[in-house]
Chains A and B, each alone.
Chain A
Amino acid sequence: MMKRKIEELFIKFLMLVATVIVVGSFFLIVGTIVSKGLPHMSLDMITKTPGGGFYIGKEGGVLNAIIGSLYVAGGATLLGLLISIPVAIYLNMYLSGKNVIANAIRLAFDVLFGIPSIVYGAFGFLIMVYFGIRTSLLGGIIAVTLLVIPILVRTLDEVIRTVPHELRDAALSLGATRWEAAKVVLRQIKPGIFTAILLSFGRAIGDVAAVLFTAGFSDNIPTSLHEPAATLPLAIFFQLSSAVEEVQGRAYASALILTVVVLLITVLSEILVKKFSKHKI
């Protein structure tokens, strides 16, 4: 009897320790980034482009990378939406719910979701070579679009599935075509679309491996789709390996900016997701 009690207590203690480690690691990471990044934060960081070369120049900030990241993440999310909204509608409105084909397509997107961004980056690079596009904002957007399509489709599909079937059936029984019924459903899931946008944007803005081959890097803010563009994660990665202390400091401050932005996006989408998701594994 005693032995069972002790075992119970021991395991409970282990579980507590494990939970503290897992949850605590979040605070450890954020704490490290904040304590290292905060001393190097300044208004210049977010209002100026780097002066005298981003790798050695001690002046300026990372405005070029911030804008570049917004362009890449925004462009990719927009393009991704144009593709994934129709796909999600097709899966739910045109193929009926328990369709084998629909489920096979869902499986394919689940698998695509698991493909690492470095593979999307390499593939994006192949596309660029094939079409003769040079490393540019456009190339980055293409690669990241491929990366976010599975995220968008999975989220939108999940959201559309929470819309009651009766709504669709009512629209159809009133003589609406499937496309007209789809428009009714789309109106219902507006907040869900917003969630999908946030998730996709958050993933896109933080990703390095997909833009590494495709977007290039530049100290300037890109003015056209064909110019190379810096992104924030890539700027962090490059600046961190610099020997100049100020530049390293900029990397820490950039990491802080990126973390804050991404965490805000995640919190916002968490709140929205709560309203929608049920049992998605």
Chain B
Amino acid sequence: MHRFRLFKDKFFSKLMLVLTLASVSLLVIIGLGLYLRSSPLLHQHSWIQLLTSSKWRPLKGLFGFYPFIMGTIWVTAVSIIIALPLCILTAFYLVEYVPPGLRRILIPFINLLAGIPPVVYGVWGVLFIIPLIQNKIAPHFVEFSTGYSVLAGGIVLAVMIFPLIVSIVIEVLRTIPQELKDASLSLGATKWETIKKVLFRKALPGIIAASVLAISRAFGETIAVLMVCGNNADVPHSIFDPGYPLPALIANNYGEMMSVPLYDSALMFAALLLFVIILLFNLLSRLILARLERKLAA
């Protein structure tokens, strides 16, 4: 009996260890799998050539990822530029100005925003943002725009990353000791001066971590962006130009990728690029956040 219990304990211990290692090693396996699958392309073209060429002619065997990389960067940049100031202001407002009762009502709505599926954001983008840009915004700046543009993708993505940034910044702000605020306020600083000179400085690592996390989220977002960006394989030159981010490229061409040589390799290479960049960004922001959490615990 006794030995059976110990055996069970050992058995489950080993089983769980295996499951844990297997699921953690996913990180390596995904990277390796994508690399192996994209290696036929990497044999024929150098990394630099793939990343800097603008010629995308899969039928002729030309795979230049530059337009897609630029598309991703444009859309992500627009979304961060829109979202970051709004989210930081909102987080400070919610933590420092709004009475706790109202805060408890408002924060759940921001969390609900996080629950809305990407495709619904896409539908909203098509129904609301596209006409808005086409009829109201673009005519002030350019002669003609269909609305399907980098700007549309950026706005939709910005709304998608609102909840991520706001919730992390709120958490970070809550870790700042009350004494610090009291000290500043008692010296005669206004609330805003306290925020600007004390809280903001204290929260800066957390804000950076939140931004990096948000960037990596925006980088990998697929379907919502695909629906509103226009998907034109040219490098965008203004926010009213269409863009074609990497995830949209993968999603849009999965159907034909098996019929053109090297095409599947090229798409897997795109996935590999996304994977590596997002992995690094996530690692960075998680390490910053973990340090903050440790500080809080200490």
Q: Is B128 in contact with A262, judged by CB distance below 8 angstroms?
A: no
CA distance A117 to B281 in the complex (A): 16
Q: Is A86 in contact with B116, judged by CB distance below 8 angstroms?
A: no
Q: Residue A18 contacts which of B93, B117, B118 (CB distance < 8 angstroms)?
A: B93
User: Which of A45-53, A54-62, A174-182, A218-226 contacts the other chain?
Assistant: A174-182
CA distance A178 to B121 in the complex (A): 46
Q: Residue A22 contacts which of B86, B213, B278, B281 (CB distance < 8 angstroms)?
A: B86
CA distance A17 to B281 in the complex (A): 30
CA distance A89 to B121 in the complex (A): 36
Q: How far is the CB of B219 from chain A (nearest CB, A)?
A: 7
Q: Does B138 contact A (CB under 8 A)?
A: no
Residue of A nearest to B296 (CB): A279
Residue of A nearest to B254 (CB): A213
Residue of B nearest to A212 (CB): B251
The proximity string for B residues 32-51 relative to A, scoring 1 for CB distances below 8 Å and 0 otherwise, is 01100100000000000000
CA distance A127 to B191 in the complex (A): 56
CA distance A110 to B286 in the complex (A): 7
Q: How far is the CB of A37 from chain B (nearest CB, A)?
A: 9
Q: Known contacts A118-B222, A123-B33: does B116 contact A22 (CB below 8 Å)?
A: no
Q: Known contacts A26-B110, A86-B20: does B168 contact A281 (CB below 8 Å)?
A: yes
Q: Is A86 in contact with B271, judged by CB distance below 8 angstroms?
A: no
CA distance A8 to B220 in the complex (A): 38
Q: Is A111 in contact with B283, judged by CB distance below 8 angstroms?
A: yes
Q: Is B19 in contact with A87, judged by CB distance below 8 angstroms?
A: yes
Q: Does B122 contact A (CB under 8 A)?
A: yes
The proximity string for B residues 222-237 relative to A, scoring 1 for CB distances below 8 Å and 0 otherwise, is 1100010000000000
Q: Is B111 in contact with A266, judged by CB distance below 8 angstroms?
A: yes
Q: Does B24 contact A (CB under 8 A)?
A: yes
Q: Does A105 contact B (CB under 8 A)?
A: yes
The proximity string for A residues 170-209 relative to B, scoring 1 for CB distances below 8 Å and 0 otherwise, is 0000000111101000000000000000000010011111
Q: Is A180 in contact with B5, judged by CB distance below 8 angstroms?
A: yes
Q: Is B250 in contact with A262, judged by CB distance below 8 angstroms?
A: no
Q: Residue A86 contacts which of B16, B111, B222 (CB distance < 8 angstroms)?
A: B16
Residue of A nearest to B106 (CB): A23
Chain B residues in 8 Å Cβ range of A121? 251
Q: Is A15 in contact with B92, judged by CB distance below 8 angstroms?
A: yes
Q: Does B267 contact A (CB under 8 A)?
A: yes
Chain A residues with a Cβ closer than 8 Å to the other chain, count: 87
CA distance A212 to B8 in the complex (A): 41
Q: Known contacts A18-B85, A32-B127, A270-B111: does B117 contact A205 (CB below 8 Å)?
A: yes
Chain B residues in 8 Å Cβ range of A33? 120, 123-124
Q: Is B166 in contact with A105, judged by CB distance below 8 angstroms?
A: no
Q: Does B78 contact A (CB under 8 A)?
A: no
Chain B residues in 8 Å Cβ range of A122? 34, 250, 267-268, 271
Q: Is B119 in contact with A206, judged by CB distance below 8 angstroms?
A: yes
Q: How far is the CB of B39 from chain A (nearest CB, A)?
A: 12
Contacting residues of chain A (1-52) with chain B, CB-CB under 8 angstroms: 4-5, 7-8, 11-12, 14-19, 21-23, 25-29, 32-33, 36
Chain A residues in 8 Å Cβ range of B23? 83-84, 87, 109, 112, 149, 153
Chain B residues in 8 Å Cβ range of A117? 220, 222
Q: Does A133 contact B (CB under 8 A)?
A: no
User: Which of B59-67, B143-151, B178-186, B287-295 contacts the other chain?
Assistant: B287-295
Q: Is A108 in contact with B27, judged by CB distance below 8 angstroms?
A: yes
Chain B residues in 8 Å Cβ range of A118? 220, 222, 247, 250-251, 271, 274
Q: Is B9 in contact with A22, judged by CB distance below 8 angstroms?
A: no
Contacting residues of chain B (95-147) with chain A, CB-CB under 8 angstroms: 97-98, 106, 108-124, 126-128
Chain A residues in 8 Å Cβ range of B13? 90, 94, 178-179
CA distance A209 to B121 in the complex (A): 14
Q: How far is the CB of B68 from chain A (nearest CB, A)?
A: 13
Could you write out 7 A-B pairs with CB less than 8 Å apart? A19-B106, A29-B113, A177-B8, A209-B251, A237-B227, A240-B123, A279-B175
Residues of chain B touching chain A, judged by Cβ–Cβ distance below 8 Å, are 5-6, 8-9, 12-13, 15-17, 19-20, 23-24, 26-27, 30, 33-34, 37, 85-87, 89-90, 92-94, 97-98, 106, 108-124, 126-128, 159, 162, 166, 168, 171-172, 174-175, 190-193, 206, 213, 216-217, 219-223, 227, 247, 250-251, 254, 267-268, 271, 274-275, 278-279, 281-283, 286-287, 289-290, 292-293, 296
Q: Given known contacts A212-B251, A237-B119, what 17 new A-B pairs fall within 8 Å (CB)?
A: A15-B92, A18-B87, A19-B98, A25-B159, A29-B113, A29-B128, A32-B124, A83-B23, A103-B290, A111-B286, A115-B278, A116-B221, A118-B220, A209-B223, A213-B254, A265-B115, A270-B111
Residues of chain A touching chain B, judged by Cβ–Cβ distance below 8 Å, are 4-5, 7-8, 11-12, 14-19, 21-23, 25-29, 32-33, 36, 83-84, 86-87, 89-91, 94, 103, 105, 107-112, 114-123, 125-127, 146, 149, 153, 177-180, 182, 202, 205-209, 212-213, 233-234, 236-237, 240, 251-252, 255, 258-259, 262-263, 265-267, 270, 279-281
